[in-house]
Amino acid sequence: MTYPEGVLRALLTPRWLGFLGLALLAAAVCVLLGLWQLGVARDEGLKDAVAAAGTSARAPLPDVLSPHSPFGADLSNRPVSATGKYGAERGFVVVDRRLGGQAGCWVVAPLVTAEGTVAVLRGFVPGSPTSSPQPPAGVVTVDGTLGPGESPRAGGTLPGDQRQSIDLSALVNEWPGELYNAVIFASDERVGGAVVDAAGESKLERVPPPSVDAPLNLRNAAYAVQWWVFGLFAMWMWWKMFRAENQGETAAAAPREEVTA
């Protein structure tokens, strides 16, 4: 009997198959516990990032972000203010959005500031209008929170001012000036110190900021890795025990084979 045949025969005994089943069960439990800890790490990281951003003092947009700079996770939900004039002729509506269970569109307009142009999500309107509601004229100060742009969405050509998403990679070639790599989710707009009633003629309803893609909580992430290491250790111990016993039996049998020969 060759060595591989002997190993296979020993492996297929009820005793070692039972040990293998226990090792696989332990490894599976460790994998699941690691995935659970990874989920906790993401949730905790999200809470930390949202809490940190939400408690930051409102700051002028140029103090927080520069045009074309990458949008980091720590900027999501960051309170900012920006002052400029709306480019009303370049506004658009984003279709297939929902707010409070109601279907409608997002209303977006470029705010041209001294430093650059930033996309402002002014609010939500029900239905599917083909033209964007007119923003306030003159110098406008927008208060709101920052959010990232969106990826392009597949779809056919839409009528009028309708679009599929707030795709900043497309807007950089369409809007004037340097473009900020962010979207301001407007909470209010002021002209000459007076707050604009967005819910007046245009029926705009403000849109809350999106959820945050935050970094992992390192402590729980380390726990996840630790559980996966335990799973590997269980499999390694099974193999070590099996190999040690198999080598011992092979060594014990060798003298008997020599005597027989």
Is 95 a member of any domain? yes
**Separation of alpha carbons 177 and 108, rounded Å:** 17
**In this structure, what are the phi and psi dihedrals at residue 17, rounded to the nearest 5 degrees?**
-65, -35
Q: Which two tokens stand for residue 60?
A: 């002028």
Is residue 164 one of the residues assigned to a domain? yes
Total domains in the fold of the chain: 2
SS3 content of the chain, % helix, strand, coil (to 5): 40, 25, 35
pLDDT of 138 > 80? The answer is: yes
* Contact call for residues 142 and 109 (beta carbons, < 8 A): no
What's the confidence (pLDDT) of residue 19? 73
Cα maximum dimension of the chain: 107
What pLDDT is attached to residue 4? 58
Segment of 201-205, 211-215, 219-223, 249-253 carrying the highest mean pLDDT: 201-205
For 240, the domain range is 3-46+217-260
**212, pLDDT greater than 70:** no
pTM of the model: 0.63
Any idea what DSSP says for residue 12? T
**Lowest-pLDDT range, 60-64, 85-89, 119-123, 152-156?**
152-156
Instruction: Indicate whether 185 and 250 sit together in one domain.
Output: no
Specify the range with the lowest mean pLDDT, choosing from 16-30, 167-181, 213-227. Answer: 213-227
Q: Which has more confidence, 197 or 42?
A: 197
On whether both 184 and 248 belong to a single domain, the answer is no
* Digit-coded pLDDT (tens) for 113-127: 999 999 999 999 999
Average pLDDT over residues 236-255: 68
In a domain, 12, yes or no: yes
* The pLDDT of residue 191: 93
Whether the CB-CB separation of 238 and 7 falls below 8 Å is answered with: no
Same domain, 138 and 32: no
Residue 110 pLDDT grade (very low, low, confident, very high; cuts 50, 70, 90): very high
Nearest-angstrom CA–CA distance, 239 and 110: 64
> Does residue 100 share a domain with residue 140?
yes
The Cα–Cα gap between 157 and 201 comes to 28
The verdict on residue 42 lying in a domain is: yes
What residues does 97 pair with on adjacent strands? 104
Q: Which of these, 64, 50, 200, lies nearest to 122 by C-alpha position?
A: 200
Q: Residue 201: which pLDDT band, with cuts at 50, 70 and 90?
A: low
Within a domain: residue 93?
yes
Pair (240, 157) in one structural domain: no
Q: Residues 96, 147: one domain?
A: yes
CB 144 within 8 A of CB 186: yes
In a domain? residue 209: no
Residue 61 falls within a domain, yes or no? no
Q: Are residues 157 and 232 in the same domain?
A: no
